[in-house]
Structure 1
């Protein structure tokens, strides 16, 4: 069992000893994959660990890492762990107060940063005066691993990563045997990594995860979904996220996965196709964007290709419905499916980079049934997981051939699950975290004396023992007729549409206006610019900016039809009565959503209070002031009038059928 091998650094050294020439990771540089063997990996970790020691990093300290996924990210992580320190990952998109909060709370003296952009953010933060109600930063050294643009920087706080390694080699020569002693002194209960919680309602907490926590999770997951040393994994989601630590680091080191790092965010999709991973884990937004890409491509194809794919999809859908229920298709359908796969669905899988996939996961938020259905129909074994940072990201998962789309599966081995008397999901396993860093009171509220993790989520077990997650327990509401619901449930119904990027739903009376409520649920909706833009092009609808597109009557009509379809699946008392298309997308830099794209409802309720009040009153429109940025970079602040659409008076035009899942055309 991997968890008995105690720590990540020991696992790495074992890989270097038994598989020295095998590829541990590879990074694409200038169009060429540059491999790093397990022996090279271990040597670079040793040099970096010596370099950190030369900077004065000691056992028990925290080293911060800020940047996109590169080999240096993991080298820094393993180096810190080797000498008894821990790493806290910071999302590369973090700015301002969020960045200051994590650095202040962790008191990191050394920050490993990616490039000029991250260095500039840190230097700016270091130069700012300490807030009156805050503690000073402890940052003494910023180590960067991409030197482009930094050649002329002379700030003494800066140090290039290669120079850190060089200093480490010198320091190591003078301290023979020290590194091996430090690795041997590490224990399974040492903090391996500190991951930030999502922070939807407050500043993110720092969750302490030990080597034992993460390796126990890796053992329990791979007990049902085996991963081997020949498997490939493309790492492109932030290492600051528990999902990437879970698969790329814990499963990667314990099972010897080969990690591949795309050259750039712009080349992720093509690099994914080139590698063809065997296993993959991504949040819903990635799977939704893949489906959107397919919809756009198919809608732009000729009628023959559309017909062929439509036929192949229908065959694949029939087979998938049989298989996810644990049965097998008959011989005739199998033969038909083989042909359909060859001419229709396999080429799509190949285009998405999923041709070799054996299994893949989604988690962090609900994924729409239509999206699930699409991927299973084209032959992708996509499964939902459920977990939190506090339990190493995963506690519940679908089993192969048992994938009800409305559930998140059953507990992985070693995990206990129960529903409390008030409907809260409770979890217990060896992967429950050590606690929140420097927040013992919050830890005591989250993990009780018997070791149960109180998730704060409401849910129930269905007749087959599958977990169904409703929402955060505090967000479960009761309609006037007694129907219990959550805003997230309604929002997800709306977001199942390929045209809707985000939706925030409010109950009657949520508005802050003085007028009486018109009754009915209301929604703020933002568009998916790719799919709506493609639809507008097909409809020959011209527009300039996102704001212009969101204000078109034709687009309102499009979203009205999609919302009406979503309402059909909802109890009458919680159907959306009115909606507005927001003039901008929700942005993590504006604190409107988290870095993992979870909506911060309190920020939305405060920032868009006037719009919410107008929706609640049943107004026809609402005037706001907003800054609009154009494609050439220029911006102007102007008054906008947003239309409010009343769905209670809308009916879908007669004869207009439902669009297929794989198409954006009506």
Structure 2
């Protein structure tokens, strides 16, 4: 047998016959009294003394079993879906588990999907039960609920319940208010819908139902097989209709097992969940690995609350999308630049240089000289550890990044703090990570090596191909799209361009469809240039365009958090992005950033003109995905007039 076959056989033996039902039974048996999930919904549960509402593993599964029994009463048949549009909260986890225990398929839906996209997803997956949290969610679903007779129950929290059970006049007013909050959300009043119940009522009904349906629930659980779907995840729909990626129990537990092995994650950890559960990375790290190992997850319902939560929780494991790491780097850089004491600035700069050299020496194929280790230990305690502690990262045993390429300069800066941040690479269709870095496979600028039992190769045109037990069986109800994704030999065509080095480390260049081909025929990866621009703490977002054009131009935004800090240092009085973006001193600083970036690039990659916007790009503003990645086509379409002007008379770099 080949090495890959041996690895795969070992993991298969470890997860043989495993489904979520068995995973939870084992975790409750071994760690039932230990904390499972915490959130800030104190009005809906007891404070644990730290300002958090916490459930143990035993309590979590008990609640899920009760709700699952209620789902049976509501008519959920094996294989039917339960759609959940809600933030990261304990009830979301309970609903997800309950659906599987009842033999159904949980479908977490992005909170940002438009009413039209919601209607498509609902028509495609045909949920039997829908769980909604807010009036905004109710607005996005109300047209579906008015038309969809297959939905037998709607479980709604406070404002969603009020919106869905109001009188016609009140419902219309609530819909108008929700539409105002949700941009172009259009709502149809759903008055006095008898299917709508509160969460508390559903929980109480479920507890009663369990006394009658306990045996039936056990039969449903025993009937679940490893190759059955454990979830369907719909893409955010930024480039067309959302597609439903089917993932099986075997997909999930193989991925969880190999990820834990690569990262040396043995036993439970303390983590933070802030990305949507509709995203595969959060499901693996916030649901499945903790459920497999019995970890404690703190649920954050607003990514803006992440920074203070980190400082309080001090997790042992942390996954940050690149934008989060960029913000950490920008924040520290701005504060250090504002430090008036030159001696302190110099001491920190020297410590960061030593930290970077030390972490870089731990890369695969290198060795750490004893004198470098001693120098690192000398500065780690008094300088670097306090810096990590201020961020809440002083207890980190494992830190990672994914969802987009990590700029290597950001990784080097974090190394200066004494943090080895392991990049991973994959997609929903590969159940998250197909490759990963780890203590035994670490090389800056790469996304690690193939996970155990997984094959990765580069096609003739540079596309990354993946094959193994983590690949989806296909898209829900879309055989043509599935055939385009997975070739006859079982290789998933990722749509990304990459390079493999001699040691098997993968470097992701860019999305295949995002590669810019200029009018002179030069192939350029825009993300590399955008990442270089964003290394400045002044720049929040950057978009580079130039397809079919003679040169590249860029649209830039300021960073709303760090730009005001830099402005104060420059003696600028403005505080808002709109004010700062027109200030001469800030414009000069941005020009310097562009010039410095161009100096590092080849001539075809250089920015010839740019525009600094007076606004930020946000998830709510539809320019960013829920994982803070740029919606390139959306942004290009929205600013096509700006781009046209840049090729006429834009600010020249």
Counterpart Cα distance in 1 of 2:524 and 2:302 = 41
Q: SS where residue 465 of structure 2 aligns?
A: strand
Given that 1:228 and 1:257 are in contact with CA atoms closer than 8 Å, whether structure 2 keeps it comes out as no
Q: 220-229 or 525-534, which moves further after superposition?
A: 220-229
Counterpart Cα distance in 2 of 1:254 and 1:123 = 36
Counterpart Cα distance in 2 of 1:387 and 1:450 = 19
**Aligned in 2, Cα 1:11/1:508: closer, same or farther, shift over 3 Å?**
closer
Given that 2:274 and 2:302 are in contact with CA atoms closer than 8 Å, whether structure 1 keeps it comes out as no
Shift, 1:184, TM fit: 0.6
**Aligned in 2, Cα 1:146/1:313: closer, same or farther, shift over 3 Å?**
farther
Within 5 Å, which residues of 2 pair with 1:225-240?
225-240=263-278
Alignment gaps of 5+ in structure 2? 1-12, 167-191
Q: Where does residue 646 of structure 1 map in the other structure?
A: 652
Counterpart Cα distance in 2 of 1:68 and 1:301 = 38
Q: Where does residue 370 of structure 1 map in the other structure?
A: 409
Q: Does 1:616 align with 2:614?
A: no
Given that 2:516 and 2:545 are in contact with CA atoms closer than 8 Å, whether structure 1 keeps it comes out as no
Q: Where does residue 391 of structure 1 map in the other structure?
A: 430
Shift, 1:370, TM fit: 1.7
Alignment partner for residue 514 of structure 2, among 455, 475, 480?
475
Shift, 1:539, TM fit: 1.3
Shift, 1:498, TM fit: 2.2
Given that 1:192 and 1:210 are in contact with CA atoms closer than 8 Å, whether structure 2 keeps it comes out as yes
Q: Where does residue 463 of structure 1 map in the other structure?
A: 502
**Aligned in 2, Cα 1:428/1:595: closer, same or farther, shift over 3 Å?**
same
Q: Where does residue 294 of structure 1 map in the other structure?
A: 332
Given that 1:194 and 1:209 are in contact with CA atoms closer than 8 Å, whether structure 2 keeps it comes out as yes
Higher helix share: 2
Counterpart Cα distance in 1 of 2:225 and 2:431 = 18
Alignment partner for residue 205 of structure 1, among 243, 247, 262?
243
Alignment gaps of 5+ in structure 1? 131-135, 511-518, 620-643, 648-666
Q: Where does residue 68 of structure 2 map in the other structure?
A: 49
Counterpart Cα distance in 2 of 1:281 and 1:219 = 17
Shift, 1:25, TM fit: 2.3
Within 5 Å, which residues of 2 pair with 1:54-133?
54-123=73-142, 126=145
TM-score, with structure 1 as normaliser? 0.85
Counterpart Cα distance in 2 of 1:646 and 1:263 = 42
Q: Does 1:353 align with 2:392?
A: yes
Counterpart Cα distance in 2 of 1:151 and 1:449 = 49
Counterpart Cα distance in 1 of 2:626 and 2:286 = 19
Q: Where does residue 214 of structure 1 map in the other structure?
A: 252
Q: SS where residue 23 of structure 2 aligns?
A: helix
Within 5 Å, which residues of 2 pair with 1:495-644?
495-507=534-546, 510=549, 519-543=550-574, 545-617=576-648, 619=649, 644=650
Shift, 1:266, TM fit: 5.4
Give deviations 1:412-466, integer Å, cap 9, x for gaps: 1011011112221110010101211121110111011221101111122123321
Alignment partner for residue 11 of structure 1, among 8, 16, 23?
23
Q: Does 1:37 align with 2:62?
A: no
Q: Where does residue 33 of structure 2 map in the other structure?
A: 21
Q: Where does residue 411 of structure 1 map in the other structure?
A: 450
Q: Where does residue 624 of structure 1 map in the other structure?
A: none
**Aligned in 2, Cα 1:586/1:273: closer, same or farther, shift over 3 Å?**
closer
Shift, 1:528, TM fit: 1.2
Given that 1:228 and 1:256 are in contact with CA atoms closer than 8 Å, whether structure 2 keeps it comes out as no
Give deviations 1:355-386, integer Å, cap 9, x for gaps: 11111111111111121011111111201111
Q: 590-599 or 554-563, which moves further after superposition?
A: 590-599
Within 5 Å, which residues of 2 pair with 1:160-175?
160-175=198-213
Q: 30-39 or 438-447, which moves further after superposition?
A: 30-39
Counterpart Cα distance in 1 of 2:257 and 2:337 = 43
Counterpart Cα distance in 2 of 1:532 and 1:83 = 51
Given that 2:84 and 2:109 are in contact with CA atoms closer than 8 Å, whether structure 1 keeps it comes out as yes
Q: 483-492 or 389-398, which moves further after superposition?
A: 483-492
TM-score, with structure 2 as normaliser? 0.87
Q: Where does residue 183 of structure 2 map in the other structure?
A: none
Counterpart Cα distance in 2 of 1:585 and 1:183 = 48
Give deviations 1:553-579, integer Å, cap 9, x for gaps: 322221221122222222112211110
Q: SS where residue 572 of structure 2 aligns?
A: coil
Q: 595-604 or 554-563, which moves further after superposition?
A: 595-604
Given that 2:275 and 2:626 are in contact with CA atoms closer than 8 Å, whether structure 1 keeps it comes out as no
Q: CA RMSD in A?
A: 2.5
